[in-house]
Amino acid sequence: MVLFPNCKINLGLHITRKREDGYHDLETVFYPIGIKDVLEIIQAPSLTQAFNFSSTGLPIQGNPTDNLCAKAYQLLKNDFPQIPSIQIHLHKQIPMGAGLGGGSADGAFALKLLNQLFHLDISENRLIQYALELGSDCPFFIINQACIGKGRGELLERLTLDLSQYQFLIVNPGIHIGTGWAFSQIRPKPVEHSLMSLINQPITTWKDHLINDFEAPVMASYPEIAQIKKALYQAGALYASMSGSGSTLYGIFEKGSTPKISFPDHYMTALVD
């Protein structure tokens, strides 16, 4: 069975509180974007180990047992011991450590795929709880439609937000931004204007009001990222922002208008509806 985990962008991102458990409370709008990995899981015919993991596409660092797809399998296997040995293959196209949630999407889609493949009948709410054990962004990908996220990102409220009349230019310069470092640069503060009220305003008003709290410290340390955002606006973006803690940026453009913009060859760029 094959699924296609997609990435997300953040429309606004506020860090509101440092929690006693070491995590941060946030408020953001998650919006799904059609850059996708390819995830295949099949039952293994005869393997002594619980699972076999392979990958193609972008290189994945680290031990395969630490991959969120493998962790999703182990998580469900603990509660559903009848799940047999499996083979997992992941074709990686979403840049990693880029603020697009690609790894989180892979883990969440692995939960959904295993649920379907082995007829586990796990409810959406329970899948969300499993996903939270994998990571703070993972619950969104169980729902996988526009949502306001609060708490660690697991308190999700569906939105009717529809940006299908626009297109998105995604730009990743290949700069790795450590999530821990990025959070260390933030001084949490209460939200002045709720994202719900801001997101319902015309997109032409977002530039001055819809803010990602990570942008200021990240762009101060990496001016190249600030230059990308400037270039997106110069090319006619209605709104441009960094996604998550970076380093990926996106510009929202009127559909049918091809942005006249050139980036270095080592940048990953994609124009998606």
> How confident is the model over 223-253, as pLDDT tens digits?
999 999 999 999 999 999 999 998 999 999 9
- The reply to whether 137 and 197 lie within a common domain is no
140's CB contacts (< 8 A; 6+ apart) are 8, 30, 101, 104, 108, 147, 149, 153, 156
CATH number, residue 178: 3.30.70.890
Provide the angle, in degrees to the nearest 10, between the axes of the packed helices 124-134 and 68-79. Answer: 130
Q: What is the pLDDT of residues 57-114, one digit of tens each?
A: 999 988 888 899 999 999 999 999 999 999 999 999 999 888 999 999 999 999 999 9
pLDDT at 8: 97
Average pLDDT of the residues of the chain:
92
For residue 9, pLDDT beyond 90? yes
CATH number, residue 110: 3.30.230.10
For residue 134, pLDDT beyond 90? yes
Q: How confident is the model at residue 178 (pLDDT cuts 50, 70, 90)?
A: confident
pLDDT at 50: 74
Q: Which helix (H) or strand (E) holds 7?
A: strand 6-18
Rounded average pLDDT over 11-38: 91
Q: Note down the domain range covering 194.
A: 166-272
Give the pair of three-digit tokens for residue 132.
């939270």
pLDDT at 179: 83
Give the pair of three-digit tokens for residue 8.
């997300």
Residue at which a domain ends, from 124, 140, 158: 158
DSSP for 79-110 reads H-TT---EEEEEEE-SPTTSSS-HHHHHHHHH
pLDDT at 47: 59
CA distances from 22 to 77, 99, 183 (A): 28, 20, 11
- The reply to whether 200 and 175 lie within a common domain is yes
- The reply to whether 77 and 209 lie within a common domain is no
Number of domains composing the chain: 2
- The reply to whether 50 and 184 lie within a common domain is no
* Catalytic residue IDs: 8, 137
- The reply to whether 12 and 147 lie within a common domain is yes
For residue 54, pLDDT beyond 90? yes
Bridge partners (DSSP) listed for residue 55: 90
- Which strands form 249-254's sheet, in the order they lie side by side? 239-242, 249-254, 166-172, 268-272
Q: How confident is the model at residue 269 (pLDDT cuts 50, 70, 90)?
A: very high
SS3 12: strand
Cα gap 221→67, rounded to integer Å: 29
pTM over 0.85: yes
Least confident of 86-90, 153-157, 171-175: 153-157
pLDDT at 191: 79
In the chain, the N- to C-terminal Cα span, in Å, equals 26
Q: How confident is the model at residue 20 (pLDDT cuts 50, 70, 90)?
A: confident
CA proximity to 95, closest of 4, 222, 8, 11: 8
